[in-house]
Structure 1
Amino acid sequence: MDAVILRAEELYRFYRAAEEETRALRGVSLEVAPGEVVAVTGPSGSGKSTLLACLAGLDDPDGGTVRIDGHRISHRPEAERAALRARLVGVLFQSGNLIEHLTVAQNVDLAQRLAGRTAPGWRDELLGGLGLSGRARNRPSRLSGGEAARAGLAVALANRPALLLADEPTGELDQRSETPVLKLIRERAAQNTAVVIASHSPAVRRLADRVITLKDGRVT
């Protein structure tokens, strides 16, 4: 395995509206090794979500490159970025991680199929580790906020990703609901998954091996 799972070099991202230009990222570089958990902090509007979107291939930087496990994901057609993302990356948002008309188990199964990695045993292990075995047949509308966050993490980990990216994954959770989510993230990191979490949570900062701070699109 490469000594570095994630390598982002000199990322720039600008947004333009009429004559206004927002410089969301200004030369951000980041490397994350297998098993490392990196927390990205900073005030609202500092560029955290933009950075994660570029790292995941959900957005393309205006300058710089992103490589995941040796594969360049930036500056490719969207279909190629999506294929790499399905195979190499797990993405966990604060909300919107689940397809509403599918059950929890079906959401995990779909993520596995998109990655070409069907493994019912891994699905059951994931859901069991997150305390969701009894909710596998439920649709998202029947889940509590904590259960939905844990189910979203199960979907993000369904493809056994080389890189897990999480954007405020526990932002709406109380401490009791936050703990099992962070516990499983640490367990996945121990199995050589690289993890980047954008969050304001003190618990996330304590979990991290390294904390970087963004301000006005730059690492401070």
Structure 2
Amino acid sequence: MDQMSDTTPATASAGHFAVQEDHVIKTEGLSKHFNTVKALDQIDISISKGEFVSIMGPSGSGKTTLLNILSCLDVPTAGRYLLDGTNVSDMSEADRAVVRREKIGLVFQQFHLIPYLSALENVMLAQHYHSIADAGEAQAILESVGLGGRASHLPSQLSGGEQQRVCVARALVNEPAIIFADEPTGNLDEENEALIIDLFKRLNKDGRTIALVTHNPEIGAMADRTIRLRHGHLES
């Protein structure tokens, strides 16, 4: 993983930044408006390959809106978003779906598991978007998150922490380079929260870029760097 210098600020600041070859994520004047509400306004950030970044701020600050744009689930009203040097801001939904499939893993606070599918089948569901369903590979991913023995269980037969680990396995099965997580520990107790965060740290150590939205300052402090938002603006 790329190491941050001692002079790197803990909080991202607004303004233009120097172009670096290892920036996998870069935004320029990124804005998202809902009628007269400016959910995001002139956001300039960059995230390097292999970096673990937390995104923090009070409720309504624009954290989830930013993550939705970075993960290609939404598009900005204005500004540019460069992912691996490619401007994805004005791509069609079909093209953004390809980007999500090829480069991105998503983990949400709500587990979004199909209730009538087993843990293994829920993971394999992500493989279907690649048109390659491999039960052995899905089983191996479940084992990597400590759920090898729970593959045949339905979501209702799993604890909250186990369901979240199934979600992480589903996000990993297509080997994405970037993982976006929106409050992934928000519904978990302290023990399962620690398990999930340890899992993210291990994934980051293996070289994956991670951007994680959280309201928990202890979790935020575990990242290499924190991007702080307030009322749709970057805090300086």
Q: Does TM, normalized by the shorter one, top 0.5?
A: yes
Aligned position for 2:6: none
How far has the Cα of 1:3 moved from its partner? 1.0
Give the letter for the 2:47 counterpart: V
Instruction: Report which of the two structures shows the higher radius of gyration computed on alpha carbons.
Output: 2
1:54 and 2:69 aligned = yes
Q: Residues 129 and 184 of structure 1 are in contact (CA less than 8 Å); yes or no, is this contact kept in structure 2?
A: no
- Whole-angstrom distance in 2 between the partners of 1:51 and 1:163: 15
Write the distance in 2 (CA, Å) between the matches of 1:105 and 1:148.
11
Sequence identity (%):
37
1:12 maps to what in 2? 31
SS of the residue corresponding to residue 146 of structure 1 reads helix
| In 2, Cα distance between equivalents of 1:208 and 1:201 | 12
- How many residues of Structure 1 are paired with residues of Structure 2 in the alignment? 215
Distance in 2 between the 1:142 and 1:68 partners? 38
Q: Distance in 2 between matches of 1:192 and 1:119?
A: 24
Give distance in 1, aligned partners of 2:214 and 2:62.
Answer: 12
Read off the aligned partner of 2:168 and give its amino acid letter. L
Measure, in 2, the Cα distance between the counterparts of 1:82 and 1:146: 28
The gaps in structure 2 that reach 5 residues or longer are 1-20
Q: Matches of 1:185 and 1:94 in 2, distance apart?
A: 14
> Take 2:47 and 2:137, find their aligned partners in 1: how far apart are those partners?
25
Letter in 2 for 1:95: Q
Residue identity matched to 2:77: D
Letter in 2 for 1:13: K
Q: Aligned to 1:114, which of 115, 129, 139?
A: 129
In structure 1, the partner of 2:230 is 215
1:26 counterpart letter in structure 2:
D
SS, match of residue 164 in structure 1: strand
In 1, are the aligned partners of 2:53 and 2:210 still within 8 Å (CA)?
Answer: yes
Matched, 1:132 2:151: no
Residue of structure 1 in register with 2:189 after alignment: 174
**Counterpart residue type for residue 197 of structure 1:** L
Measured in 2, the distance between the counterparts of 1:96 and 1:172 equals: 9
1:83 alignment partner in structure 2: 98
Query: Does structure 1 residue 142 correspond to structure 2 residue 161?
Result: no
TM-score, normalised with respect to structure 1: 0.90
Structure 1: segments with no counterpart, 5+ residues? none
Report what 1:95 is aligned to. Answer: 110
> Quick check: 2:25–2:47 contact (8 Å CA) kept in 1?
yes
Q: Secondary structure at 1:7's aligned position in 2?
A: strand
Residues 120 and 135, structure 2, Cα contact 8 Å, conserved in 1:
no
**Higher helix fraction (1 or 2):** 1
Q: Which residue of 2 aligns with 1:165?
A: 180
Cα 1:79–1:101 change in 2 (3 A) is farther
d(CA) in 1 for partners of 2:28 and 2:140?
Answer: 36
Q: TM-score normalised to the size of structure 2?
A: 0.84
**Contact 1:68 1:88 (C-alpha < 8 Å) held by counterparts:** no
